[in-house]
Structure 1
Amino acid sequence: MTIYCDESGGLNAGAMTFAAVMLSPQVAADIHARFRSVTGLRGELKGSRISLVERAYLLELFDRAGGRAWVAMARRDTIGGKPGGAVPSDLSVYAALLNLAVGRWLPETGGVCTDVVIDDGRYDPVILGKVREEIQAGLGAWGRASLAESHRSDGVQIADVIANSLFNIAAGSPRAHRIQRIIEPMLASKAIRVAELKDFG
């Protein structure tokens, strides 16, 4: 199995989320292909660009295919620092969320070789390379950590939609209530689980 990773938001927007989605590459490709064939989507699949109905359909495909995800979440009002203090950088929060989300998966892999694929689009490649090395050290001989361009990875694009869904809820966006209704069954069944980053720094 493969863990596909992507993030959404930032502390300046009220919250940051990081999704670590477990799917086989073939299942990720099948979900993505079916979604495109039904919706006619052109270009990259991103949670910030699709309608509520399209989001619901993608998440239904994900759930029906047996997809699972851990989503790590940081809220600005929880980790934003002490009054008058500095707000943590998005990069430091990103790294902490990545470690939290992937870390929740590793004990559940049962020793099965696991690859971790991380979106390379947000930060400098050198910085992301160091993050990848840290994840690789945690995986040891059980798997391989790599960076991928999101538009070339089916699984990373699915992870983007899941991260964006939880970001909308955490940040209280105008669409938060509808997205909460869409995702509630998956939260209840634990197909999607949330871990909140509270202790930071």
Structure 2
Amino acid sequence: MTIYCDESGGLNAGAMTFAAVMLTPDAAADIHERFRSVTGLRGELKGSRISIVERAYLLELFDRAGGRAWVAVAKRDALAKNPGGTLPSDLALYAALLDLAVGRWLPETGGVCTDVVIDEGRYDPTILAKVRADIQSGLGQWGRASLADSRRSDGVQIADVIANSLFNIAVASPRARRIQRIIDPMLASRAIRVAELTQIA
């Protein structure tokens, strides 16, 4: 299995979410191909660019394929401040959310070799290389952590849509109620699980 990772939002937007999506590469490719063939989508699949109906269809394909996700969520108003009264940096929050989401998966892999694929787009490559190395250290001999261009990764693009869905809900966007209805069955079945982050160690 592969864990595909992507984030949405930021503290300046009210919340940051980080999705760690477990799918086989073949399943991710099949979902992507089917979605594009039906919707006619061209270019990168982004949660911020698709309609509610398209989002519902993608998540239905994800659910049918047996996809599962842990999504770490941090809301600005619920996040503990630093000793000086400031909020954590964007990078510190990103790293903590990644660690939380991927960390929830590792005990469930049963020692099966797992690859973790992280979107390389948000930060400087040098910074992301350090993040990747930290994840690799946690995986040890059981898997491999790598960075990927989201435009070339079916799984990372699916993770983007899931992270964006939970971001919309976290900030109570105008689309939040309809998105909540879409994902409620997946929350109930635990295909998608949410971990709240309120403090960075």
TM-score class, shorter-chain normalisation, is over 0.9
TM-score (norm 2): 0.98
State the aligned residue count. 201
Amino acid at match of 1:155: G
Q: Which residue of 1 aligns with 2:132?
A: 132
Structure 1 position 86, deviation (Å):
1.0
Residue 11 and residue 80 in structure 1: after superposition, are their counterparts in 2 closer, same or farther (change >3 A)?
Answer: farther
Task: Give the whole-Å Cα distance in 1 for the aligned partners of 2:136 and 2:82.
Answer: 33
Q: Deviations over 1:14-57 (max 9, x none)?
A: 10000000000000000000000000000000000000000000
Q: Which residue of 1 aligns with 2:29?
A: 29
**Is the Cα–Cα contact under 8 Å of residues 71 and 193 in structure 2 kept in the other structure?**
yes
Q: Which residue of 1 aligns with 2:62?
A: 62
Displacement over 3 Å in runs of 4+: none
Percent of aligned positions with the same letter in both sequences? 83
TM-score (norm 1): 0.98
1:98 is the counterpart of 2:98 = yes
* Structure 2 residues without counterparts, runs of 5 or longer: none
**Is the Cα–Cα contact under 8 Å of residues 119 and 156 in structure 2 kept in the other structure?**
yes
Task: Give the whole-Å Cα distance in 2 for the aligned partners of 1:166 and 1:103.
Answer: 19
Alignment of 1:153-168 (within 5 A): 153-168=153-168
Structure 1 position 199, deviation (Å):
2.1
Alignment of 1:138-149 (within 5 A): 138-149=138-149
Q: Which residue of 1 aligns with 2:199?
A: 199
Alignment of 1:107-122 (within 5 A): 107-122=107-122
Q: Which residue of 2 aligns with 1:170?
A: 170
Residue 118 and residue 82 in structure 1: after superposition, are their counterparts in 2 closer, same or farther (change >3 A)?
Answer: closer
Amino acid at match of 1:174: P
Residue 54 and residue 29 in structure 1: after superposition, are their counterparts in 2 closer, same or farther (change >3 A)?
Answer: same
SS in 1 for 2:48: helix
